[in-house]
Structure 1
Amino acid sequence: MTVRVFLVDDHPLFREGVRAALEASPGLDVVGEASSGDEALRVLLPERPDGPEKPDRHHPVDVVLMDSRLPDRSGAEVTRALVAAGSARWPPPRILVLSMSEDDEDVITALRSGARGYVVKSAPRDELLRAVLTVAAGGAAFSPPIAARLGEYFAAMRREPGRSAFPGLTERELEVLDLIARGYSNRRIARELTLSEKTVRNHVSHVFAKLHVSDRTAAAVRARAAGLGT
């Protein structure tokens, strides 16, 4: 069966090169392109059947190659919208991010948005083709350096309880939250971390704001549920 691919990237020359690489491979067919997030959603979402490049609904798109950074929206935002629009009648396409960035935060954000893989734009042609076919078949695909870093990232999550639950907290704020979960007062936290009480109060305020809680009890409950405070 032919795998139908849709390209989303704001660089015409890059899209042209990817299209040529894909269409030179048997079993892959590029059925459309978009240069922005809005254009991709206009074409791909089932609620907008009037898109000028909308593929035939009897032959839906299988894989979307998504740039992580678009001029109007992030690739993660577009991915979330496509995944959220899926239904039994309209299975959403599988998203493979194709990005210049190797930043851990960009990779994790892409996965949380619903992407099935992450390939760097410097990847060899054969690596990209394998990734497209793997994702089309329901698997996950990552460039080797991304896969290695993901392994390190999740290993660190196991070593550091709470990090995956509170990715927005800094290392220091996570330490403060852990001590709040243990029932420590600001004064005791200051002694434990060799900080001034004023600095601790500032960290506590930041933690409350990021966790959207108003007091220590609520923060402690959230922290303990994530494995902190033990």
Structure 2
Amino acid sequence: MDRIRVALADDHPIVLAGIRSLLTADPGIELVGEATSGTDALPMIHSAGPDVAVVDVSMPGLNGLELTERVSGECPSTRVLVLTVHEDAAYVRPLLEAGARGYLLKRSAADDLLRAVHAVAAGGIYLDPSIASHALDSSTTTGRADADGGGEALSPRETETLRLIAQGFSNKEIARRIDVSVKSVETYKARAAEKLGLKTRAEIIRYAAARGWLDAFTLR
């Protein structure tokens, strides 16, 4: 089985060394690059092409949010896992909007970093257990009503497409999984989002979490 290729970006050398030690202890992970600023991290990620990029939020040059946006747009095969000291759930939504697949607190890294890396690499979403419930509490009223059964019913294809989108799969991956064209996936996604009034990826993720679709990817 191929190892998960991981790149790191953090401007604190001690933290970087600690993360490196945790990752290299797992035989299923290969460390392929490191950077101490967002500015240096972007070309490193371009060059190394990791499966997962573990990035800090507060870095010189490009910050974690800007880096996540750039990586998501320019390196779609690389999934971003944010590793941060920020426990305020308000940080989560913009990072998910930017394309992050995971959000882990540094104080949880010793216990949960490897689990988060494996979950994100497998195509899932990982939210730190200590902030996930608070982040999900900010669900829109529409999302909560729909999760309780309100709103126009989705077709089985629309439901499956939305579930896989929330779990982090690309349109191409979804098309392969449900054996339809990429264009069909885009149509199912648009119809489902319109029916439920979901306008952003973060809203889709919160809707999915409220229905239990992410239970295999978060809080475990």
TM range (shorter): 0.5 to 0.7
- For 2:128, give the aligned amino acid: S
Q: Give the match's secondary structure for 1:32.
A: strand
2:91 is aligned to 106
Gaps of 5+ in 2: 146-196, 199-220
Report Cα offsets for 1:112-170 as digits up to 9, x if no partner. Answer: 1000010000004231110000000000111112211122111666479xxxxxxxxxx
* Matched ranges for 1:159-174 at <5 A: none
Q: Any idea what SS the aligned residue of 2:108 has?
A: coil
* 8 A contact 1:65–1:96 mirrored in 2: yes
Q: Secondary structure at the match of 2:139?
A: helix
Say if 2:31 is the partner of 1:30.
yes
Q: Distance in 2 between matches of 1:157 and 1:23?
A: 44
* Structure 2 SS opposite 1:4: strand
Report the secondary structure of 2:138's partner residue: helix
SS at match of 1:145: helix
**Is the Cα contact below 8 Å between 2:55 and 2:83 reproduced in 1?**
yes
Query: In the alignment, which of 125, 129, 133 is matched to residue 110 of structure 2?
Result: 125
Secondary structure of 1:5's partner?
Answer: strand
Q: Which amino acid aligns with 1:150?
A: A
**What is the aligned residue count?**
146
Which one has a bigger Cα radius of gyration?
Answer: 1
Structure of greater relative contact order (alpha carbons < 8 Å, 6+ residues apart): 2
Q: Indicate the RMSD between aligned Cα atoms, in angstroms.
A: 2.1
Q: 1:92 maps to which residue? A: 77
Q: Indicate conservation of the 8 Å contact 2:54/2:80, yes or no.
A: yes
Q: Which residue of 2 aligns with 1:79?
A: 68
Residue 4 of structure 1 pairs with residue 5 of structure 2 = yes
Superposition deviation, residue 73 in structure 1: 2.1
**Could you give the per-residue CA deviations for residues 87-110 of structure 1, whole angstroms, max 9, x where no partner exists?**
xxxx43100000000112211111
- Counterpart in 2 of 1:63? 52
Greater helix share, structure number: 2
What is the distance in 2 between the residues matched to 1:43 and 1:98? 18
Percent identity, aligned pairs only, is 40
Distance across 1 between alignment mates of 2:25 and 2:144 = 45
Q: Which amino acid in structure 1 is aligned with residue 58 of structure 2?
A: R
Cα 1:124–1:64 shift into 2, 3 Å: closer
Aligned partner of 1:164 in structure 2 is: none
The answer to whether the Cα contact below 8 Å between 1:82 and 1:92 also exists between their aligned partners in 2 is no
Asked if the contact 2:90/2:135 (under 8 Å) is kept, the reply is no
Partner of 2:156: none
Structure 1 residue runs of 4 or more that deviate by more than 2 Å after TM superposition: 155-160
1-side partners of 2:97 and 2:110: how far apart? Answer: 26
Q: TM-score, normalised by structure 1?
A: 0.59
Query: Which amino acid is the alignment partner of residue 72 of structure 1?
Result: G
2:120 pairs with 1:135: yes
Cα pair 2:34 2:44 within 8 Å, conserved:
no
Task: Specify which of 114, 133, 149 is matched with residue 148 of structure 1.
Answer: 133
Say which SS state the counterpart of residue 71 (structure 1) adopts.
Answer: coil
Partner Cα distance (2:65, 2:142) in 1: 22
